[in-house]
Amino acid sequence: GIRDATGHIFPFMTDGECRTRIGNAVETCLVDHLPAIQQAGISEVVIDARGRTAAYAGAMTRIYRDATCQDISINDRGDQHGHVKERIKALAMGGITAGHFLRGLKE
């Protein structure tokens, strides 16, 4: 990966046509926003597991499926999905964010 001045590591991949794609240093996590996504009429979400193992894809799919199918109790911080996010953080490279979903990207 590419390390920036703050120490974050941005993964990069080269495709079959020699194009390089630079990924985010942290993974997008929308588990807190699933109810709003569903209320907006979106019935499916995709987990981008390109470049990751089948075990990662399976584990992350189970976490998101559990989050959508079960009532999740509110933890002591008032965070409804706190324990779910901890499971996601344990699998994620570099941490998690919902920043681009909430704020968009600057052109």
Confidence at residue 76, expressed as pLDDT on a 0 to 100 scale: 43
Q: Average pLDDT by consecutive 10-residue portion of the chain (107 residues)?
A: 90 91 89 88 90 94 85 48 86 87 74
- 8 CB neighbour count, 10 Å cutoff: 14
DSSP 40-104: TT--------TTS-HHHHHHHHHHHHHHHHSPPPP-TTS-TTHHHHHHHHHHSSS-EE-HHHHH-
**For residues 92 and 86, what is the distance between their CA atoms, to the nearest angstrom?**
10
Domain ranges of the chain: 29-95
Confidence at residue 104, expressed as pLDDT on a 0 to 100 scale: 76
Give the dihedral sign, CA 17/23/29/33.
negative
